[in-house]
Amino acid sequence: MPKTTKVAIVTGAARGIGAGVAAALAKKGYAVGLIGLEGDLLRQNARAIGAQALAFEADMTDRTALGSAFEGVRERFGRIDVVVSNAGISNFDLLITMSPDHFRRVMAVNVEGTFNAIQASLPHLMESKGYFLGVASIAAALAPPGMAAYGASKGATENLLNTLRTEVIHKGIDVGVAYFCWLETDLVKTGGEHPAFTYVREHLPGPLRTIAPVELAIKAIVNGVVRRKRRIMAPGWVGWALALRWFVSGNPSAYKSQMPEIERLCAEENKKRGGPDKTMISDPLSR
C-alpha cells in the first residue's frame, strides 16, 4: 500500500450505512478497517472490497476489543486518518414501561461506544491530523414518543462530538456530526414490525414520515469525510428541521390526541412479545 494512501475505520460496518460507507471509501482510494459484531458479514464485506480492507469483530462497549481493532488497523496499514463512528442500536417503548436493561444497552452502545471510539482513535488522529465523524440523528432534536432512549443517546452523542471538536481543534483534528431521518436500514425495517413505531412515524408531519434510501446517507457521509465537514445532513430538509428544533422538540400538542392509541399499541405489543424486555428493535451493531 502506498504511504500516501489514507486509512479509514468504519464501525457498524457489517450492514447498512456502515457497510456502504466502507465500500464507497475504498472506491475513493482509502484503505478501510471494518469493525462490528457480525464477524462473518464483516469478513465478507472486507473480501468484497479487496486487499485494502480488514475486518475486526468487536463490541463498541468492549474497550479492550475496540482498542485492539484500532491497533490492528494501524499495524496493517500504518496510519489512521478517518474514523466513522456509525454503530448504533435502538428500542421502542414508552418510558413508563421501558425495560431498564434496554435503556442501558442503547445508551451503552450509542453513547459509551462513541466515547470508546473517540479514546481509541485520538492517539492515531493526532498523528495524522485526521477526522472523526459520529452519526447522530434527527431524533436528537425531535423527541418522538417511544424513542426516548434512542433520542437521548443521539442527543448525548451530538453533544459529545461538539465538545470533542472544541477540545482537539488545536491539534489539527476535525470533528463532524451526521444527522439523518428515517432510512432504509435494518434498524428502521425492524422497527416497522412494531405497530406503535409505525403509527408514530406515519403520523409525523410532511417529509418527517418518509423513508429515504440508505444510499443517500452513504453518499453524504463519504462527501463529508472527503471535505472534513462539521455537519452532515440528509435529506436536505433535515437542516431546516434541526434549525427549528427549539420549536418542535418536546412540544406535546401534536401528540395529545395520538397518545392513547400509541399507549394501546405499545401495551398490546409488549403483551404479544412477552413483556417490555422482549421489545428491542435492533441489536446488531450496525444501521
Residues with active-site annotation: 150
Q: Is 121 exposed, middle or buried (0-12, 13-18, 19+ CB in 10 A)?
A: buried
Task: Give the C-alpha separation, 36 to 158, whole Å.
Answer: 21
3-state secondary structure 223-252: HHHHHCCCEEEECCCHHHHHHCHHHHCCCH
Q: Is 275 exposed, middle or buried (0-12, 13-18, 19+ CB in 10 A)?
A: exposed
Task: Give the C-alpha separation, 126 to 174, whole Å.
Answer: 10
Residues in contact with 241: Cβ distance below 8 Å, sequence separation at least 6, in sequence order: 138, 141, 142, 181, 208, 248
Residues in contact with 214: Cβ distance below 8 Å, sequence separation at least 6, in sequence order: 16, 17, 20, 183, 184, 185
Using an 8 Å Cβ cutoff, are 76 and 32 in contact? no
Residue 25 phi, psi (nearest 5): -65, -35
Asked if the peptide bond before residue 235 counts as cis, ω within 30 degrees of 0, the response is: yes
DSSP string for 113-140: HHHHHHHHHHHHHHHHT-EEEEE--THH
Strand partners, 239: none
Using an 8 Å Cβ cutoff, are 133 and 188 in contact? no
Q: For 100, what's the count of Cα atoms within 13 Å in the CB-facing half-sphere?
A: 0
